[in-house]
Structure 1
Amino acid sequence: MRNRYGLETKAADDNDDLDDALEQVAKSVEERTEKKVSKLIQTALAPFIDSVTNIEKKLNRPGAIFGASNDENAEVAAVESKAIHSFLKSGVRNFTPSQHLTVDEMKTMTVASDPDGGYTVFPVLATSINKKMHDQSPLRRLSDVQTITEGDAWEEPVDRDDLGATWVGETEGRPETSTPQVGMLRVPVHEIYAKPKVSQRMIDDSSWKIGNWLEDKIADKFGRTEGHAALLGDGIKKPRGLLTYPISLSSDAARPWKTIQYVASGNATVLTADSLKDAVWALRAPYRPGACWLMNSNTAGSIDKLKNGNGDYIWRDGLTAGSQPSLLGYPVEIDENMPNVGAGALPVAFGNFKKAYVIVDKAGYKLLQDPYTDKPFVLFYTYRRTGGDVRNFEAVKFIRVEA
């Protein structure tokens, strides 16, 4: 006898077999339905998934240009490379859409053209120069870097005082409390230039990668010059340096603003382990996360030999060659612009430099080719505008060698 499911039953007591068969049929139908529904959902969502994936790739890739895809980035870089090669070889006299460059090539550098023949450096090249400067200058890498597109200065409100507060009873009067004084930090941008030169013969050699050469020269010159000013600049037509402000032994609560605290080395000729520990604890807790040491190689070499009371070195080398060392648990950055150990010098700084110092860049580089001034050489006059200043005088401490 067959039932309505097409299954044969032999006796009334075979219900268990029938139940098992029915369960298998139901399970098979359910699985097929789930597969069909899943396929329909995947088909419907596929365009959205692809869109999200593309967005993630754009957001996560390094060196993206204004949200372009990797292919678009490569295309822009290729056009830019051709354009800069033509410009550096031929100069502005040949730099028009109707002659040696296409309209697309012109677009890569006409962010702001100069009536005298200078052009804003291409975005890919500018990004590469900035990266090399970032790697070369420790203080630029450690500081807060702001970019402005308009005006000649960057401004930030500075609240240096606490808002007054006091405890009162339920029915007591509430006299006016003190009001914090809000100041304004203004960091102007100053012009810095580099003028590397090369012979016309080398330019005429089409196999020579002139763009790479120019990139390295500009990054090296700007990086060294800006790095020096960020520590030692007097603020006149250049950034104000970290080491140029008045110093004091007084704590944050006791000394005036625009004065940086130092701890004494305890010795007139060498640094001591105790002075290094004093510098760490002089920096208040809110600033210690993200803090690091700043010193030159000579100073690092002398500190490398210091030991604690147990005879252990307090300096810790990195686990691999070339990796960053640490001192008392904080990373060490080497900046050759820092002073050597000597009477009255400030050879070591410890602080949170991102909170202590701000560097302000005016967006864009300008480039001018000059084949006339120094024949048979061609000069590449490149300039930009940048500035820098201390923004928080509590976020960094110095160690001063005894006089």
Structure 2
Amino acid sequence: MSKHFSPARLAGGILAVRADASGDPKKIFAELNKAFEDFKSEHSQQLKELKAGQDDVVRQASMAKIEDRLGSLQSAMDAQAAQMTALQIGGPGTDGRPTDPEYTDAFSAHFRKGEVQAALNKGASEEGGYLAPVEWDRTITDRLVEVSPMRQIATVQTISGTGFKKVFNQRGMGSGWVGEVAPRPETVTPEFGVVTYTPGEIYANPAATQQMLDDSAINLDEWIANEVESEFAYQEGLAFVAGNGVNKPYGFLTYVEGAANAAAHPFGAIRAITTASATEITGDQLLDLVYDLPGAMSQNARFVLNRTTLARIRKLKDGEGNYLWQPSFSAGQPQTLLAYPVTEMAAMPNAVAGAVPVAFGDFRRGYLIIDRTGVRVLRDPFTNKPYVHFYTTKRVGGGLLDPQALRALRMAA
């Protein structure tokens, strides 16, 4: 066993998790800095011992635990940043009060008993449904922004109709040089392309007993927001990355060269850089990915990948032995790779043959999310007695906005 490492040192505190650091950004930063220094020290020593043929099982276990600790701390940092992003949208009001208290009170009464005075049922529909009050809608939206990585980095457009169309100028304007008295024939006129973004419907159907609803201590607002947020965030996370467009958004990976929607956008497909190996990613390939993106698109560019791929890329170094990946060291700042922010997205595939485990670019210019105005809640006390179901729906769509703003790293087949 290496003299530089021992089980006692492991137990003594390198990887110790302090419970009091869970919610304090300053303490999280300190823990993250310490864990990253341990990671660099252990990994460098591991490489030396590998070269000397002295690797041991205990050191491998140490590295795995350090990486897990780094991941946990970075997740805590990312959560702090996401909460800041969600707060920018704004809550019900500066004083925390509902923007529509009269209807909110009526809606809460309807939630418990299904009884609303006629003068207050402005959300009523012909089939007896009720639209959620403004602050309910905003609460759910805020939560989605907080937990959905794509909503944090893409463009979000709210619509009031059944769909959204965007016209793209395909350029191609013709011109020519002529003499003073030479004729001026007609030149080529640029063509326009249209992309239609059609929202699908996402739903959640939580239930509670009538006795549970009768309990005045229950926070209905918090309860339904939690239920809806969990379901919607999971479904959206999958769809924005790889959705097939059938009653759901088209994921951006479907627009990569060779994928199902490669020819769907007027500007073409998302360019892909292919690795030499079917399982390994190198630093040079990440550099190729970065510099293949036009300079005008790189100012707000970022890497998108899942946790498994990030764990592998964390170990990559440049020619001088510096890590390509750097953790976040200040509030509101993300972890970086080659000096660009990194967004961890669980729906991205692993680095296996033929997959696209890494995407890079300006997602705000590259991908569009559309939200049909309003979250709708239908109260159903009849289907599953004694439970009352709250059928909650939101219409969401998405698709490629500009393929020139994104690049993809594809593993060799």
TM interval, shorter chain, is: 0.7 to 0.9
CA distance in 1, matches of 2:258, 2:173: 25
Question: What number of residue pairs does the alignment pair up?
Answer: 323
CA contact (8 A) 1:140 1:227 kept: no
Instruction: Give the counterpart letter for 1:133 in structure 2.
Output: L
The answer on 1:82 being equivalent to 2:82 is: no
CA distance in 1, matches of 2:266, 2:224: 45
Among residues 246, 249, 266, which one is paired with 1:239 in the alignment? 249
CA distance in 2, matches of 1:82, 1:114: 18
Deviation at 1:164, TM superposition (A): 2.2
Bigger Rg over Cα: 1
Deviation at 1:168, TM superposition (A): 4.4
Deviation at 1:359, TM superposition (A): 1.2
SS of 2:186 mapped into structure 1? coil
Deviation at 1:126, TM superposition (A): 0.4
Deviations 1:100-139 (CA, angstroms, capped at 9, x unpaired): xxx4xx26xx2x4221221111101101111111111111
Among residues 86, 90, 111, which one is paired with 1:63 in the alignment? 90
Instruction: Give the counterpart letter for 2:141 in structure 1.
Output: N
SS of 1:95 mapped into structure 2? coil
Correspondence for 1:26: none
Deviation at 1:333, TM superposition (A): 0.6
CA contact (8 A) 1:262 1:400 kept: yes
Percent of aligned pairs sharing the same letter: 34
Aligned counterparts, 1:322-401, within 5 A: 323-401=333-411
Deviation at 1:246, TM superposition (A): 4.7
Under a length normalisation based on structure 1, what TM-score does the superposition of the two structures give?
Answer: 0.74
Correspondence for 2:135: 124
Aligned counterparts, 1:59-208, within 5 A: 63=90, 70=94, 74=97, 76=99, 78-79=101-102, 81-91=104-114, 94-97=115-118, 103=119, 106=120, 110=122, 112-150=123-161, 152-208=162-218
Among residues 209, 227, 239, which one is paired with 1:217 in the alignment? 227
Deviations 1:173-211 (CA, angstroms, capped at 9, x unpaired): 443322111011111122221101123332222111122
Deviations 1:237-290 (CA, angstroms, capped at 9, x unpaired): 1111111235169xx9xx984422110122221211111111111111221121
SS of 2:156 mapped into structure 1? strand
Deviation at 1:70, TM superposition (A): 4.2
CA distance in 2, matches of 1:345, 1:186: 27
CA contact (8 A) 2:140 2:225 kept: yes
CA contact (8 A) 1:290 1:352 kept: yes
CA distance in 1, matches of 2:201, 2:396: 6
SS of 2:174 mapped into structure 1? coil
CA distance in 2, matches of 1:77, 1:96: 16
CA distance in 2, matches of 1:154, 1:388: 10
Deviation at 1:394, TM superposition (A): 1.6
CA distance in 2, matches of 1:351, 1:328: 13
Q: 1:118 to 1:376 in 2, by over 3 A?
A: same
Instruction: Give the counterpart letter for 2:112 in structure 1.
Output: K
SS of 1:192 mapped into structure 2? strand
Under a length normalisation based on structure 2, what TM-score does the superposition of the two structures give?
Answer: 0.72
CA distance in 2, matches of 1:75, 1:284: 46
Instruction: Give the counterpart letter for 2:116 in structure 1.
Output: F
CA distance in 2, matches of 1:320, 1:295: 22
CA distance in 2, matches of 1:246, 1:395: 12
Aligned counterparts, 1:288-307, within 5 A: 288-307=298-317
CA distance in 1, matches of 2:189, 2:383: 60
CA contact (8 A) 1:80 1:124 kept: no
Q: 1:237 to 1:327 in 2, by over 3 A?
A: same
Q: 1:319 to 1:170 in 2, by over 3 A?
A: farther
CA contact (8 A) 1:268 1:401 kept: yes
CA contact (8 A) 1:248 1:262 kept: no
Deviation at 1:81, TM superposition (A): 4.6
CA distance in 1, matches of 2:366, 2:407: 10
SS of 1:216 mapped into structure 2? helix
Deviations 1:360-402 (CA, angstroms, capped at 9, x unpaired): 1110111111122222222110112121111212211100111
CA distance in 2, matches of 1:265, 1:133: 34
CA distance in 1, matches of 2:150, 2:256: 20
Instruction: Give the counterpart letter for 1:96 in structure 2.
Output: Q
CA contact (8 A) 2:91 2:139 kept: no
Structure 2 gap segments, 5+ residues each: 1-87
Deviations 1:115-168 (CA, angstroms, capped at 9, x unpaired): 122111110110111111111111122111111113x11011111233223444
Deviations 1:44-84 (CA, angstroms, capped at 9, x unpaired): xxxxxxxxxxxxxxxxx96376xxx746x725365455333
CA distance in 2, matches of 1:62, 1:149: 19
CA contact (8 A) 2:99 2:134 kept: no
Q: 1:182 to 1:369 in 2, by over 3 A?
A: same
CA distance in 1, matches of 2:103, 2:222: 13
Q: 1:374 to 1:294 in 2, by over 3 A?
A: same
Instruction: Give the counterpart letter for 1:232 in structure 2.
Output: A
